[in-house]
Chains A and B, each alone.
Chain A
Amino acid sequence: MAYNLKEVMTKPDRFTSGHRMCAGCGAPPVARMVLRAVKPEDHVVVSNATGCMEVSTCMYPYTAWTDSYIHTAFENAASTCSGAEAAYRSMKKQGKLPADKDTKFITFGGDGGTYDIGLQALSGAMERGHDMVYVCYDNGAYMNTGIQRSSATPKFADTTTTPAGSVIPGKAQCRKDLTSIMVSHHIPYVAQTLCMTNFKDLYEKAEKAIYTPGPAFLNVMAPCPRGWGYPTEMLMQINKLAADTCYWPLYEVVDGHYKINYKPAKKLPVEEFLKPQKRFKHMFQPGNEWMIEEFQRIVDERWQQLLDLEKLTNEEQA
């Protein structure tokens, strides 16, 4: 059935308003939309890594989650989820749970809890083949503790542990390509997306991830107004610019086949994405043009790689 935002929005919210996430934060729409992709009759166990989302959505005695929810620590949301999923399989097999009721297992973690401290737990859970979805909301730094760099932070970004100074111009290293690492796990479904065009791409990928048996990974860019330094009302524009500049390509990998889901008709120069963000402000100072060139080069290289992979993995066998 074709995606219809109006119809999707009539489904009851499983992630409710009243939480304490910042205005203009990219993460809550991700959680809300991913959960909308769950069939209304299915139950969900949400596992959440320590981070902004966790501290703002489940503060005793309140919760924004209408499904079952568990938070244990920072680095282990995936292993916690894998335990709950193992319990489900065991109890279902033994007839300890109703046979006609399905439970889905969805983990949310920021880039700190996913790319860095939680990478091992994530890798382990995916390799073990648990029927679960791991959703990384990637805001490109440790925002909860006050904007420290992560391995998802892009090169040159000004963070509180990579401050743009007179000698060192922000983060010195490139960002880790976690989505590729997850593709290398050869799990049934891996996708990268963000919130744009009426959430179609995110919704459809979430639905596939949730209803594909076995482990699935979604990497969702989720801008942070405090860490990135954009006006809160610009959230959706920033998302769109990330896609239109090919900074954050939208693609999915099924059974080793790459599919790029969005190819901008006109690929915008990366400045368009960088300019509205204070974390890249120093790149626009006279004499720093090389930084923008370097940034553009990285974006172009990775985009080309993706185009090549798409071609390579979809070629007809001779």
Chain B
Amino acid sequence: MGIRERLSGNEASAIAMKQINPDVVAAFPITPSTEIPQYFSSFVSNGLVDTEFVAVESEHSAMSACIGAEAAGARAMTATSSNGLSFMWEMIYIASSSRLPIVMSLVNRAVSGPLNIHNDHSDAMGVRDAGWIMLFSENNQEAYDNLIMAHRIAEHKDVLLPLMVCQDGFITSHSIENIELIEDEKVKDFVGTYHPEHYLLNDKEPISVGPMDLQAFLAEHKYQQAVAMRNAKKVILDVAADFEKMTGRKYSFFEEYRLEDADIAIVCMNSTAGTTKDVVDSLREKGIKAGLLKVRVFRPFPAEEIAKALSGLKAIAVLDKADSLNAAGGALFTDLTSAMYTNSVSVPTLSYIYGIGGRDTTSKDIESVYTDLQEVVKSNHIENPYRHLGVRGLN
């Protein structure tokens, strides 16, 4: 069962792309995602894939070429980070509104400025309302598994939305960990071939993509995107069920770690969940009922399900690896508190901005959050719900 390997997150992602064998990959190098197109280029040069690799002159053109390719009827993929995604921003919206199931590997890195090459989630958060499905990955295994599941979700006729698989820059992308790969043939069968209903290269049915779309129609077209995003929820679970049958690895909207009987919990995404699990275990040994909810599917946001999963808690801390600079709290925090409110769940909740620009988040930092939560439970009072973790000169 499976192939045991030791790979970095970038290598694992490139191998997933090789197994998917897309028709077109268009990418531009940017740290820390550069290795993905680099590894992939070697697959192209050595004839291991059928892909046309388009070595574009910018990320804007990378996404534009992916749009052109996907609209033409191809499976198109790309990888980027940080400012690369920012530079694509205009095209990110156009990809989703054109209903093109492009798949991207996003290796999360701080968006300038000032310039920083290390991990946080400010790149992903900048496109959270752009109509892309966004899956987050704790480690190399999840980055790989999410990519294998990506096309089945994105290309589903009820969805037809682009999808990005996020992983933490350097922390995950460059760390070599054990991984279980799936056999090539199994991946091929699982992913299947792409048969778009309408595409530019079909000379028997010429189509127009990206027309001028004014007051009379845009509202309906945007509504269709909203419906597609809602539809994605069921498809994500269905694909995860099939994936579990193939690999035994279980995926859902989020992972609950020792959450069932917990009093206090942290909600976070990507690699910090690993550190948090470790802290939860040590707190449990001390009799503290700590838990974790790790969000995998950030878009569509599983509002009802998250609210329900958190409803039995006494206090929650949401860790955002990007500041929304809205004087109110991080993006995951505001989404989550809004989800709880609309689902009549009332639990005291704190927002922590942490790990900005690759600042290490240690077990000690995570422990301090659980200590704060214990205080909140004890005092039944929140002084300041919008907090910053690990920033010097505070307190």
Contacts and interface: CB of A to CB of B under 8 A. Distances in A.
Say if A and B assemble together.
Answer: yes
B211 A59 contact: yes
Contacts of B65: 79-80, 82-83, 86
Interface string B33-71: 000000000000000001110111110110011111111
Nearest to B60: A76
Interface in A80-94: 80-91, 93-94
A251 to B, nearest CB: 27
B360 interface: no
Contacts of B74: 86-87, 90-91
A60 B56 contact: no
A82 B89 CA distance: 19
A58 B50 contact: no
Given A86-B69, A87-B23, A80 B50 contact: no
B133 interface: no
Contacts of A79: 56, 60-61, 64-65, 68
Nearest to B67: A72
A103 to B, nearest CB: 6
Contacts of A69: 200, 206-209
Contacts of A90: 23-24, 50-52, 69, 74
Contact of B206 (A43, A61, A97): A43
Nearest to B90: A73
A87 B201 contact: yes
Interface string B321-354: 0000000000000000000000000000000000
Interface string B192-236: 000000001111001111111110010000000000000000000
Contacts of A70: 67-68, 71, 200, 208-210
Contacts of B217: 60-61
Given A68-B207, A72-B98, A91-B74, A80 B56 contact: no
Interface residues of A, number: 48
Contact of B26 (A47, A59, A86, A121): A86
B65 to A, nearest CB: 3
Contact of A67 (B72, B91, B206, B210): B206
A87 B69 contact: yes
Contact of A82 (B68, B202, B208): B68
A47 B203 CA distance: 15
Contacts of B64: 72-73, 76, 79-80, 83, 121
Contacts of A123: 57
Contacts of A85: 68
A86 B24 contact: yes
A89 B26 CA distance: 14
A293 to B, nearest CB: 41
B127 interface: no
Contact of A83 (B58, B68, B94, B211): B68
Interface in A215-242: none
Interface string A117-152: 000110111011000000000000000000000000
A65 interface: yes
Interface string A195-217: 00000000000000000000000
Interface in B68-123: 68-74, 76, 90-91, 94, 98
A101 B55 contact: no
- The residue among B54, B65, B90 with the most chain A CB atoms within 10 A of its own CB is B65
Contact of A45 (B26, B72, B212): B72
B76 to A, nearest CB: 7
B23 A94 contact: yes
Contacts of B201: 43, 45, 68, 84, 87-88, 91, 97, 103
- The residue among A55, A69, A88, A93 with the most chain B CB atoms within 10 A of its own CB is A88
A281 to B, nearest CB: 33
Contacts of A91: 23, 72-74, 201
A82 B24 CA distance: 11
A45 B76 CA distance: 17
A45 B200 contact: yes
Given A72-B64, A76-B60, A83-B65, A88 B72 contact: yes
A61 B216 CA distance: 10
Nearest to A48: B210
A43 B55 contact: no
Contacts of A111: none
Given A87-B201, A93-B50, A68 B56 contact: no
Contacts of A67: 206
Contacts of B60: 75-76, 79, 121
25 contacts: A43-B201, A58-B210, A60-B212, A60-B214, A68-B207, A68-B208, A70-B209, A72-B67, A72-B210, A73-B64, A73-B90, A80-B68, A83-B54, A84-B68, A84-B201, A85-B68, A87-B70, A87-B72, A88-B72, A90-B23, A94-B50, A97-B201, A121-B61, A125-B61, A128-B55
Interface of A: 43, 45, 47, 54-55, 58-61, 63, 65-73, 75-76, 79-91, 93-94, 96-98, 101, 103, 120-121, 123-125, 127-128
Given A43-B203, A58-B208, A75-B60, 7 more contacts: A76-B91, A87-B52, A87-B68, A91-B72, A101-B203, A103-B201, A124-B58
Across the A-B interface, give the 4 residue pairs with the lowest CB-CB distance, nearest first: A83-B68, A83-B65, A124-B57, A87-B74
